[in-house]
Amino acid sequence: MHLTRLRLRSFRNYGRLEAEFGPGFHVLLGGNAQGKTNLLEAIYLLATLRSFRGVGGAQMVRHGDKGYFVGGQVLGQGAHAMRMYWSPSERRLSLDGQPVRKLTDYLGTLRAVVFCTEDLQLVKGPGTRRRRFLDLLLAQTDAGYLPLLQRYTRALRSRNLVLKARLVDEALLESFTRDVVGVGTQLTQLRRELVPRFSPLVRLAYRRIAHGAEELRVEYRPSVKQDFAVELAQARGRERTYRTTLVGPHRDELQLLLDDRPAVQYGSEGQKRTLAIALKTAQAEYVGGRHGTPPVLLIDDVMGELDARRRQGLLPLLERAHQASGQVFMTCTEVNWPEELGSRLQRWEVKAGTIEADRLVR
């Protein structure tokens, strides 16, 4: 799967951009603040409808303009055209010229995995970060997951509002509890099945990158231990005090352990960074494995942070993406991209919201 065309209008510092890409390696070169990360952000947005910088639509609209447009063409199993427009008063999303009615019809057309400095939050940040990571991984590999997650979220928000009322209507609470429990149980089950399949990949990736002696373990700590209904009923007293749902997959944790100790508290900065990259590497491998084709890799500034030895650990992933006619976009500030990558790089010069193809290197 790869992105063959990208069109931007009023997106960040791009007034207009038309670019065509082949499969393989693309290195985006340019000085600071020229628009390298913005380009990766646009591709990721097209794939997931989210910014990896965790911001909303308004921030991505070019200063002074009304709304942004991002369009792309993807070649995978067949060719697809994706288009999105966002302005404060209007949102449009279409796939192959048809307005998208259900997100599940759209997501999956372009699969992407991003490596960026924000990833460190996967290790250091609160549990929401890791739950969102699990959710994305499941949404990218199981078509039924997203509708369940959406349903759970809606039922949970409804239930929490019922709990916030001055006088809690027990019958009403019970009516929303049914879905929270039923759908929540399915979510827990899917996460429970995922983690053992996924964690060996993280371990291997970590070992490959870190060359260290420490053992990494990734463990799923579900909020629901056995029976959601029973555990929720037991929490009812405390819920009366806190006025919110205290048990459920929205409270799950993905624990990251280095030599059996939580990496958040005991890991060094370097270990945490390596761990974050290992999680993303494993995501790319898992998603690629499930679909038989690697996702598009978006690598922002990450190589610069790693020493040559650690970079070496990432190579197998990049090589594989290359061989399987996948696609990699990587940003670099100087012409110091990892020598190891060798041949067949497409270099792009990024300058003040424009990009220009360099000659093919070798």
Partner 1 sequence: MPMPVLPAPLADLMAALGKLPGIGPRTAERLALHLVQADPSFVRQLATTLTNARDRVQGCATCGALTELQPCALCQDDRRDATLVCVVERAVDVWLLDKAGTYRGRFHVLGGKLSPLNGIEPEDLRIAQLEQRLEREPLREVILALPTDVEGDATSHYLARRLAPRGLKITRLAHGLPAGSGLEFADDLTLSRALEGRQPIA
Ligand X SMILES: Nc1ncnc2c1ncn2[C@@H]1O[C@H](COP(=O)(O)OP(=O)(O)OP(=O)(O)O)[C@@H](O)[C@H]1O
Q: Is 154 in the site for partner 1 (CB under 8 A)?
A: yes
Does position 158 bind partner 1 by CB under 8 A?
Answer: yes
Contact with partner 1 (CB under 8 A) among 6, 17, 155, 328:
155
Residue 176's Cβ-count burial label (10 Å; 0-12, 13-18, 19+) is buried
Residue count (the chain) = 362
Binding positions for ligand X, rule: CB under 6 A: 12-13, 30, 32-38, 59-63, 331, 333
Q: How far apart are CA 211 and CA 79, in angstroms?
A: 41
Cβ of residue 77: shortest distance to Mg ion, in angstroms?
A: 32
The least CB distance from residue 280 to partner 1, in Å, is: 33
Min separation Cβ 28 and ligand X, Å: 8
What is the smallest separation between the CB atom of 295 and ligand X, expressed in angstroms?
Answer: 21
Site residues for partner 1, 113-152, by CB under 8 A, read 147, 151
Residue 204 CB, nearest approach to partner 1 (Å): 39
Task: Considering only the stretches 6-14, 165-173, 210-218, 271-279, report the one whose residues sit in contact with partner 1 under the rule CB under 8 A.
Answer: 165-173
Which token pair is 152?
């759970």
- Please state, in angstroms and rounded to a whole number, the distance separating the CA atoms of residues 346 and 81: 23
Strand 112-115 with 2-11, pairing = unpaired
Closer to Mg ion at the Cβ: 37 or 283? 37
Q: For 223-226, which contacts have Cβ atoms below 8 Å and span 24 or more sequence positions?
A: 223/188, 223/247, 223/248, 223/249, 223/250, 223/251, 223/252, 223/253, 224/184, 224/185, 224/188, 224/248, 224/249
Nearer to partner 1, 91 or 238 (CB): 91
Q: Using the rule CB under 8 A, is 81 a contact of partner 1?
A: no
**Minimum CB separation from partner 1 for residue 175, in Å?**
4
CB 273 within 8 A of CB 121: no
Q: Which residue is nearest to Mg ion (CB)?
A: 37
First to last CA, the chain: 24
Q: How many angstroms separate the CA atoms of 168 and 252, rounded?
A: 26
Among 184, 193, 189, 188, which Cα is nearest to 151's? 184
Q: Near partner 1 by CB under 8 A, which window of 172-180, 240-248, 304-312, 346-354?
A: 172-180
Cα gap 139→302, rounded to integer Å = 25
Find how far residue 170's CA is from the centre of its chain: 38
Looking at 92, 178, 192, 238, which residue binds partner 1 (CB under 8 A)? Answer: 178
Q: Which does 166 bind (CB under 5 to 8 A by kind): ligand X, Mg ion, partner 1, none?
A: none
Amino acid identity for residue 301 in this structure: D
Judged by the rule CB under 5 A, the positions of this chain that interact with Mg ion are 37
Q: Which of 64, 78, 89, 292 binds partner 1 (CB under 8 A)?
A: 89
- How many whole angstroms separate alpha carbon 146 and alpha carbon 144? 6
- Asked if 171 is part of the footprint of partner 1 (rule: CB under 8 A), the reply reads yes
Residue with Cβ nearer partner 1 (57 or 125): 57
The entry of partner 1, Mg ion, ligand X, none near residue 178 (CB within 5 to 8 angstroms by kind) is partner 1
User: Binding residues for partner 1, per CB under 8 A?
Assistant: 89-90, 147, 151, 154-155, 157-159, 161-162, 169, 171-172, 174-176, 178-179
